[in-house]
Amino acid sequence: MSNDVDVLIVGGGPAGLAAAEAAAKRGARALVLERQNEIGYPVHTSGGSWVSDMQALGIPQHLYHPVSKVYFVSPHREVPLNYNPAVACVMDVRGVYQHLAGRAVAAGAAIRVRHTVEQTLLEDERVLGVTAKNHVSERITLRAAVTIDASGFSRHIGVRTAMGKAFHRYGYGAEYDLYAPHYPQDELYLIMGNQFAPRGYAWAFPRGNGRVRLGVGVLHPDSDDDARSYLDSIMQNLPQLRDKFQDASPVEYHTGLFPSEGPLASFSRAGLLLAGDSGGHGSTLVGEGIRFAIYAGQMAGIVAAEAVDARDSSAAFLARFDKQWRARFGRDMDISYMINKHIANYSDEQWDNALDLMRRLTPVQMAQALRGDFTAGLVLGVLARNPGLVATGGKKLLDLMLERINKPAGNIAH
């Protein structure tokens, strides 16, 4: 293998694998370096997503499990939502990531597992590549026209090139992946409130064949509670789930960190792009980032290949990635972050009130809000169904959302 490639990708998660496929499809020599021994392992995510996105991204149907009933639970409320056909789904995470890896290789990219990126090669402010420790612990140097930091929460290159700091505000998640013979495989639960998920939320995501992911995420530093300590209590004490988890037992245990700071001010500089969690490209509304990492990775891979073709990896050229990402996702991610900050410290009573509001929305409106598709139509629809909001703090948030919706694609200060 030559040590020089066109596009060098740090991290073989969904962002990096999608970037590799997109760049290779456009003729670039693309290489992914992944520090783990396997793509898609260990699992550090719950895999909740949307059927329409799985279809749009060409993910085979056997790699996701559609779920038709969604329940919101707060201390004294429960809101059931029914969808026919199902709109939400839970991925076979390892299967999807391995599928993306296969697609990248089929397009002509190379993947190296057990390769840990260490230093960044910098010359006159331009990123020229990286050094890494390979699978036999040799130190190697790899040069590239464009490096893509797809290293997720570690933001490995971004931190070392002053693109962004290490994340300070983040969700810490702990999860059992259980075999649960009595759990209804068409029911997904999102659970709010201090007893089971302080400063965050808990979830039960069925994923087919008797398997269910039961997890809790806690926002740090807003709370210093340990998500791990809530898992058994939810299984044993939450009235809605107790019977469903009878005779269940965990067969996997996952933990993970999700950035909760909104998108970076910039995702590009000479020779470098940041895509996926490293750029803050996920939705902070519900901690959803897989499909957004894939979309951002695809965009970054295409821009990187264009830069290679044009023999121009200057900051000015690569900034087209920022423009494209902000045009497609900037508004929704800014609003997701606004809402995240608004609800982060909700009391039990506020969660009960929020569920009263949800009860008045249609299942379609709820799905649109959860997906983070924030249109003026949605905000006005919410107001129309909740005229009482005008008198409460909720109206102020909706006004801020409308203000952001009406702004042209661009950045807002957090």
Ligand X SMILES: Cc1cc2nc3c(=O)[nH]c(=O)nc-3n(C[C@H](O)[C@H](O)[C@H](O)COP(=O)(O)OP(=O)(O)OC[C@H]3O[C@@H](n4cnc5c(N)ncnc54)[C@H](O)[C@@H]3O)c2cc1C
What residue ranges bind ligand X (CB under 6 A)? 10-16, 33-36, 44-49, 116-117, 150-154, 156, 173, 175, 215, 217, 256-258, 276-277, 282, 287-291, 293
**Pick 183 or 258: Cβ nearer ligand X:** 258
**Pick 289 or 394: Cβ nearer ligand X:** 289
**Pick 18 or 361: Cβ nearer ligand X:** 18
Q: 3-state SS string over the chain? A: CCCEEEEEEECCCHHHHHHHHHHHHCCCCEEEEECCCECCECCCCCCEEEHHHHHHCCCCHHHEEEECEEEEEECCEEEEEECCCCCEEEECHHHHHHHHHHHHHHHCCEEEECCEEEEEEEECCEEEEEEEECCCCCEEEEEEEEEEECCHHHCHHHHHCCCCCCCCCEEEEEEEEEECCCCCCCEEEEEEECCCEEEEEEEEEEEECCEEEEEEEEEECCCCCCHHHHHHHHHHHCHHHHHHHCCCEEEEEEEEEEECCCCCCCCEECCEEECHHHHCCCECCCCECHHHHHHHHHHHHHHHHHHHHHCCCCHHHHHHHHHHHHHHHHHHHHHHHHHHHHHCCCCHHHHHHHHHHHHCCCHHHHHHHHHCCCCHHHHHHHHHHCHHHHHCHHHHHHHHHHHHHCCCCCCCCC
**Pick 322 or 394: Cβ nearer ligand X:** 322
**Pick 279 or 330: Cβ nearer ligand X:** 279
Quote the least distance from Cβ 390 to ligand X, whole Å.
34
**Pick 44 or 395: Cβ nearer ligand X:** 44
Residue closest to ligand X, measured at CB: 289
Quote the least distance from Cβ 76 to ligand X, whole Å.
26
Quote the least distance from Cβ 18 to ligand X, whole Å.
8
Q: Rounded to a whole number, what is the distance in angstroms from the first to the last CA of the chain?
A: 44
Torsion of CA 22, 26, 28, 32, to 10 degrees: 10
Quote the least distance from Cβ 324 to ligand X, whole Å.
17
Query: Using CA atoms, how far apart are residues 66 and 82, in angstroms rounded to an integer?
Result: 12
Quote the least distance from Cβ 277 to ligand X, whole Å.
4
**Pick 119 or 392: Cβ nearer ligand X:** 119
**Pick 48 or 330: Cβ nearer ligand X:** 48
Quote the least distance from Cβ 137 to ligand X, whole Å.
14
**Pick 161 or 386: Cβ nearer ligand X:** 161
CA distance readout (Å), 315 to 104, 202, 270: 26, 41, 4
For 329, half-sphere exposure in the C-beta direction (CA atoms, 13 angstrom radius) is 27
The encoded tokens of residue 115 equal 């390769």
Quote the least distance from Cβ 98 to ligand X, whole Å.
12
Quote the least distance from Cβ 93 to ligand X, whole Å.
8
Quote the least distance from Cβ 169 to ligand X, whole Å.
13
Quote the least distance from Cβ 312 to ligand X, whole Å.
26
Quote the least distance from Cβ 149 to ligand X, whole Å.
9
**Pick 199 or 379: Cβ nearer ligand X:** 199
Query: Using CA atoms, how far apart are residues 275 and 30, in angstroms rounded to an integer?
Result: 15
**Pick 29 or 291: Cβ nearer ligand X:** 291
Query: Using CA atoms, how far apart are residues 273 and 16, in angstroms rounded to an integer?
Result: 11
